[in-house]
Chains A and B, each alone.
Chain A
Amino acid sequence: MVDSVSAYPFPRERFYQAEHHMWASRDSASGEVTVGIDVLGVQSLGDLAFVSLLPVGTRVERARPLGALEAAKITGDVVAPVSGEIVAVNADVLRDPSIVNRDPYGQGWLVRLCADRWVADAESLVSGSRLDAWVASEIRRYRERGWIR
């Protein structure tokens, strides 16, 4: 089961950016897309010490940085899974990045985007019928490499 039985849940209704382990979830009413880091991404990063995010009003492109993070003394970019304009930034996470570790799919969301190429961008993300196989292979790969138990 992808959703809840696994120690590494991947909620079914979301879309996942495979390379960087980001998730995206579209609200069908508003059209806004919420973005965060999935559970394998969080688990392999370890404790997040700092997160910075581009401000509201910034346009970001898919696969380009929407912010930066520091965990276990590695710094790098938080990569946008879809293109669009940032319409909200999670200020709680900026002040306490450990929220992402505790609740990656809930309070640990990072930004909301007004995604203007959702249909095209979503095709590059893992979702629906492809999800089970991808999650299983990623968990197996992470375990084999010793990145998770």
Chain B
Amino acid sequence: MTQATSTPTWRLLCDDGATHSRGLAADDALAGRVGQGLSPPSLRLYSYEPCALVGRFQTLETELHLDTCRSLGLPVNRRPTGGGAIVMGPDQLGVALVLAAGEGDTYARARELMARFAQGVVEGLGTFGIDARFRGKNDVEVGGRKIAGLGIYRHPSAGMLFHASILVGLDVAHMLRVLDTPFEKITDKELATVSARTCTVRRETGREVSVTEVRDAIAEGYRRVFGVALERGELDAAERSSVDTVEAEKYLDPRWVRQRIEVPDAFGSARRKTPGGLLELRVTLAGSTLKAVFIAGDFFAPEGAIADLEGRLRWHSSHPRALEATLREAYARWGDELGSLALPDLLETLAEAVRSASHAGAKEQLAMYGCFVNPQGT
């Protein structure tokens, strides 16, 4: 006799135009409630009113041009998930998958969880004929270019929040005005380079795909990957009340939004003449983690391959052996397409840029400790 097995059901929540604080508070509150068994597992697919969101451990002043944000009337906030600063708005689809984390192995399972959660996005984008794949720790990429950023937050209640932001479309000039990038100034050249290294659903499909279409495809992607039934729903009164509380006590509280992080950013650069052409690297280092790497020069290589190198190095250990292992994987993927940028040249130049950033960081720390007055009085 065959025993019927019931298909697990997730609630599907869809909304648009969430404010920065409300959007984040809803995900956070749901993670808390799902962890306590008070709310069902939920997949929320939504968009924000235009805003800029920094990662959990970033400092607003170093990640965003706050004057520009003010002049544009662009609100800023802090995600519970890690990673870098992003701009969100009507053309970026937010994904929040909230599940119970189970027993305390979330950290150990982080990598496999991230890969699995990313698969819903990959599958959904496949609906449009987009050949997306999960990369490294936390990106979904297409031909080396990032199309979605990912992050996981484990709520104290043991609820788990998986976040993704999918670029349906992107105004690159707006993004570069808002985010503080390693560029000294933004010229047409920088704009063209960043545009060539980014990827959106609209660019890949060559048509004005709506956020609603992408939302439907992503929902279907998760349904297939996780073998669940999705049931459209809304937040109930108790949940809305939890969201109110979390919004007021966290995402509207300057102590959360404006907190400063102890690990200072340090910037470094290096350039070298290689047989393939001039190679220039700019890096941002936080402690011993590479936050960002920008690769430029007059060597020849496809922008997708360079975007892939940059993506793999983002949020990466700056330890030389770890860098080499990661870059070897990238070179195995791209083969001859990176022929004019020899791996040893890239590794040596990267090591030099990291050294220059470490040196700059050390000088900054000395300056900090030279001050006898602690303005915070702690």
A positions within 8 Å CB-CB of B? 19-20, 40-41, 44-47, 49-50, 52, 55, 64-65, 68, 70-77, 91, 94-98, 142, 145-147
Chain A CB within 8 A of B108 CB: yes
Chain B residues, Cβ within 8 Å of A94: 262-263
Residue of A nearest to B101 (CB): A76
Name the contact of B288 in the complex, choosing from A19, A72, A96 (C-beta under 8 A).
Answer: A96
A62 to chain B, nearest CB (A): 13
Chain A CB within 8 A of B57 CB: yes
Known: A50-B56, A95-B287. 8 other contacts (CB 8 A): A44-B110, A72-B137, A73-B83, A73-B315, A74-B107, A74-B110, A75-B56, A95-B262
Please, how many angstroms separate the alpha-carbon atoms of A19 and B106 in the complex? 10
Q: B378 to A74, Cβ gap below 8 A? A: no
B136 to chain A, nearest CB (A): 9
A64 to chain B, nearest CB (A): 7
Chain A CB within 8 A of B189 CB: no
Q: A74 to B317, Cβ gap below 8 A? A: no
Q: A70 to B56, Cβ gap below 8 A? A: yes
Residue of B nearest to A97 (CB): B287
Chain A CB within 8 A of B208 CB: no
A45 to chain B, nearest CB (A): 5
Proximity bits, B172-185, A CB within 8 Å = 1, else 0: 00000000000000
B positions within 8 Å CB-CB of A? 55-57, 80-83, 103-114, 137-138, 150-156, 259, 261-264, 286-289, 315, 317, 322, 365, 378
Name the contact of A65 in the complex, choosing from B105, B108, B150, B156 (C-beta under 8 A).
Answer: B156
B216 to chain A, nearest CB (A): 27
B60 to chain A, nearest CB (A): 15
B83 to chain A, nearest CB (A): 5
For A44, A49, A146, the residue with the greatest tally of chain B CB atoms inside 10 Å of its CB is A49
Q: Can you give 16 A-B contacts (C-beta < 8 A)? A: A20-B104, A40-B108, A44-B105, A44-B108, A47-B322, A49-B57, A49-B82, A49-B315, A50-B57, A50-B263, A52-B261, A70-B82, A71-B110, A72-B137, A74-B113, A94-B263
B59 to chain A, nearest CB (A): 11
Q: A72 to B103, Cβ gap below 8 A? A: no
Q: A77 to B365, Cβ gap below 8 A? A: no
Please, how many angstroms separate the alpha-carbon atoms of A97 and B56 in the complex? 15
